[in-house]
Structure 1
Amino acid sequence: MSEEPERLAKALIEFREAEGISVRELARRTQLSQATIRLHESDRGRPPVPFAARRFEEVLGWAPGSIPSTAHEPTDREPPPDSSAVTG
């Protein structure tokens, strides 16, 4: 278990408990999906994409750049990193 994802998971859970809010409400506040919230609360070891990291920093009141994120966010123009051309 990596230290940074563990720190984020703990902070998100503690924030929700302190606020008395659900995953759904945190998703609404951050403009992220409930699946994204659950993923990062479960501490599966992946850093969030930059947009999610910024939204978490804002809601948690953390300084910008305090949550390490992935190198880039996928765009509509590029395939996901694990995709490959399939020929039939």
Structure 2
Amino acid sequence: MSEESARLARALIEFREAEGISERELARRTWLSEATIRTFEGDRGDLSTPIVARSFEEVLGWAPGSIKTTPSEALGREPSADSAMELE
């Protein structure tokens, strides 16, 4: 349990309470599963993937990149040829 994951868990719960919405509704708004919402609200998630982080940042109104993510190398993924071309 890191300080970063605890901060995200608190923010998600506070957001849901302020909006008066369920985990299901938050999942719908973020295009994530209810299980993912429960995992991160319960502060049981490791660093999120970039896709999960961006979804949370959008719904919370946080700046892009404000949630620390798991590097793609740690996930055993190679950059695609398309993404390499975009960098050129």
TM-score category by the smaller chain? Answer: 0.7 to 0.9
The 5-angstrom pairing of residues 1-88 of structure 1 reads 1-72=1-72
Which structure shows the bigger proportion of residues in helix conformation?
A: 2
Q: Percent identity?
A: 69
| TM-score, structure 2 as length reference | 0.80
> Please, what is the CA RMSD of the aligned residues?
1.5
* Unmatched runs of 5 consecutive residues or more in structure 2: 78-88
Residue equivalent to 1:81:
none
Partner AA of 1:69 in structure 2: T
Counterpart code for 1:38: R
Any idea what SS the aligned residue of 2:10 has? helix
Provide structure 1 residue ranges, at least 5 long, that are not aligned to the other structure. Answer: 76-88
Q: TM-score, normalised by structure 1?
A: 0.80
SS at match of 2:65: coil
> Would the aligned equivalents of 2:50 and 2:69 in 1 still touch at CA under 8 Å?
yes
CA distance in 1, matches of 2:60, 2:31: 14
